[in-house]
């Protein structure tokens, strides 16, 4: 069975750095894995992915050390099951605002008796012939806490059995809070909400995660104690790298 080393790091209290793949290009996802990230998330919510491309991406990611994960389109039993059956070893579920919604995600992700996932992962056979007995333990379930309501319910959400981690969406959180993070007051309120979630994760013994958005953002949240942290995505890396080269060669840097 292919082991989920990112999950093992989190369980050991260590950080696991990730990147998002949204372009719909399995080769780009492979490059992110081979660069050394602990996990790469195929972004089916906001990215350009269909089922067949996701399957190819998971296999491509597995050519490097990263755990193949996916952000699902919605907290939907069928959508989550299809990604798991294709070999996702981690599922990130967006917009989880209540413990009831967290239990829905667990039900879709876990086999009985904890959940209700249907058996039939023949497309995930490339992970190992012992998927039947060992596959469940390698799956990481992270729920996105990205609303003011979710922050208030964070401890109850993270206390749901079967949830391994959270992954805060800072931009959506700011929008639902109605704060402008470019002002001192807004930034302070936003950070306080994020740290409230971190405290809830610690209280429940679960891994705290966040989309750092950049190297600097990732470093900031790692220093606060977050573990499940993403720092970039494929489109940003291409754009920033290309702009940097053009800028330097044209005398802009």
Per-residue three-class SS string for 194-221: HHHHHHHHHHHCCECEEECCCHHHHHHH
Per the structure, how many domains does the chain have?
1
Question: Residue 209: what pLDDT?
Answer: 98
In eight-state DSSP terms, residue 158 is H
Low-confidence stretches of the chain (pLDDT beneath 50): none
In this prediction the pTM is 0.96
Is residue 207 a part of any domain in this protein? no
Is residue 172 a part of any domain in this protein? no
Length of the chain, in residues: 253
CB 204 within 8 A of CB 155: yes
| Distance from C-alpha of 34 to C-alpha of 63, rounded to nearest angstrom | 7
Range of the domain at 28: 5-141+212-249
Six token digits for residue 183:
């002002």
CATH number reported for the structural domain that contains residue 73 in this entry: 3.20.20.60
Question: Residue 58: what pLDDT?
Answer: 98
Is residue 155 a part of any domain in this protein? no
Catalytic: 46? Answer: yes
The label of the residue with tokens 């754009």 reads 239
The label of the residue with tokens 């994020």 reads 194
Is residue 152 a part of any domain in this protein? no
CB 84 within 8 A of CB 64: no
Is residue 179 a part of any domain in this protein? no
Query: pLDDT tens-digit profile of 87-122?
Result: 999 999 999 999 999 999 999 999 999 999 999 999
Is residue 88 a part of any domain in this protein? yes
In eight-state DSSP terms, residue 250 is T
Is residue 58 a part of any domain in this protein? yes
Task: Name the H helices within the chain.
Answer: 5-11, 26-35, 51-61, 77-85, 99-109, 131-134, 148-152, 154-158, 170-177, 184-204, 215-224, 234-249
Is residue 123 a part of any domain in this protein? yes
CB 141 within 8 A of CB 4: no
Question: Residue 245: what pLDDT?
Answer: 95
Six token digits for residue 223:
């220093």
The closest of 78, 169, 77, 53 to 68, measured between CA atoms, is 53
- Of residues 46, 171, 224, 248, which has the active-site annotation? 46
Question: Residue 195: what pLDDT?
Answer: 98
């Amino acid at each position: 069975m292919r082991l989920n080393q990112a999950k093992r790091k989190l369980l050991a209290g260590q950080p696991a750095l990730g990147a998002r793949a949204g372009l719909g290009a399995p080769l780009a996802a492979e490059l992110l894995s081979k660069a050394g990230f602990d996990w790469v998330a195929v972004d089916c919510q906001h990215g350009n992915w269909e089922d067949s491309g996701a399957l190819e991406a998971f296999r491509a990611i597995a050519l490097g050390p990263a755990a193949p994960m996916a952000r699902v389109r919605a907290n939907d039993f069928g959508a989550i099951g299809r990604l798991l059956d294709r070999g996702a070893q981690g599922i990130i579920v967006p917009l989880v605002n209540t413990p009831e919604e967290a239990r829905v995600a667990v039900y879709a992700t876990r086999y009985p008796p904890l959940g209700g996932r249907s058996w039939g992962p023949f497309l995930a056979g490339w992970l190992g012939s012992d998927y039947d007995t060992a596959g469940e333990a390698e799956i990481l379930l992270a729920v996105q806490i990205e609303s003011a309501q979710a922050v208030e319910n964070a401890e109850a959400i993270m206390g749901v059995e079967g949830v391994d981690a959270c992954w805060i969406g800072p931009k959506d959180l700011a929008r639902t809070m109605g704060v402008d993070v470019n002002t001192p007051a807004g930034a302070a309120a936003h950070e306080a909400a994020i740290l409230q979630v971190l405290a809830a994760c610690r209280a429940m013994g679960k891994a705290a995660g966040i989309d750092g958005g950049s190297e600097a953002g990732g470093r900031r949240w790692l220093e606060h104690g977050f573990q499940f942290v993403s720092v970039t995505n494929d489109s940003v890396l291409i754009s920033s790298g290309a702009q940097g080269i053009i800028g330097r060669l044209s005398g802009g840097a």
